[in-house]
Structure 1
Amino acid sequence: MIYNMPRNYIKKKLPPPYSMETLQTALADVENSNKTLREAAAFYGIPATTIYYKIEGRKSSR
């Protein structure tokens, strides 16, 4: 009897619900001190950590 190894399921990732233009606008607002990081995150619907990582030059954990 031959036993097959179990398959490793890789969950498909959904694209982010915001566009790159929206992200660039949010970054510009934060860098120009028009909005705080949290205000921009709430206003544009982008996670605050994403904005923070882009400003700091970090890569995401994905």
Structure 2
Amino acid sequence: MSELKLNAIDFISFAVAGNTFKLKANLIGPNDQFHSVNLDIAPDEIKNKTIGEIEKLALQALRSA
């Protein structure tokens, strides 16, 4: 899984009730392996996240799934 890289972030929405940003992170790897991971990130956290940090969160979520 370490060869997977963030390819795109889709379906960004804000859930008012849960006070979270909902993202769909798409990861791609060798031989066109493709995985999608849903992430929920608090508004005060998302403004400080880099693309690399979002990629790490997506990889962690994929490993724990």
| Fold agreement, TM-score > 0.5 | no
Choose between structure 1 and 2: higher helix proportion.
Answer: 1
Q: Relative contact order: is structure 1 or structure 2 higher (C-alpha 8 Å, sep ≥ 6)?
A: 2
Structure having the higher Rg: 1
TM-score of the two chains, using structure 2 as the length reference: 0.27
